[in-house]
Amino acid sequence: MKKIKIKSRLGEIEIDQETIITFERGILGFPNLKKYALIDLDSSSPLKYLQALEDEDIGFVVTNPIIFKSDYEIKIKRNDLEEIGINNPKHILSLVIVHVPENPEEMTANLKGPIIINSNLRKGKQLVLDQTDYELKYRLLP
């Protein structure tokens, strides 16, 4: 596998080129940034870092929402699945963006705007859910 070096707020990181995730429409607020790397922050942490490859200053802390809200379930429309080539539910990786304030105990996750990734084809998309029971700022720690 060919490795490339990227710069991020985490420093210089080496990633496998084959692990790059493409967001054809970008992420909300960043429509021109299409290529991202998903980086483990720590092997024991449920948090990861989604780093934009076209802008080293743009990155998002993300997590699997099920870890913090076991009943979290998103209704994904067929055209959203087709857009990123998902035909097998086992290939769906679901993440939410986490806001980490100065006091980490006040971390929140955006449950209304999950990110889905086709783990097989490495294509991603951010959804905007119309499910009213999910919050923009869901507290992760009680």
Q: What are the pLDDT digits (tens) for 2-21? A: 888 888 888 888 888 888 99
Is the pLDDT assigned to residue 132 strictly greater than 80? no
Q: Which residue has the tokens 């990227």?
A: 6
Q: Which tens digits make up the pLDDT trace of 74-98?
A: 989 999 999 999 998 899 999 999 9
pLDDT in tens, 103-125: 989 999 999 999 999 999 999 99
Question: Is the pLDDT reported for residue 1 higher than 80?
Answer: no
CA neighbor of 52 nearest in space, from 40, 35, 38, 39: 35
pLDDT at 60: 96
pLDDT reported for residue 67:
94
Q: Where are the beta strands (DSSP E) in the chain?
A: 3-8, 11-16, 21-22, 35-40, 47-52, 59-63, 92-99, 108-109, 115-118, 123-126, 138-139
pLDDT single digits (tens) 30-74: 999 999 999 988 888 899 999 999 999 999 999 999 999 999 999
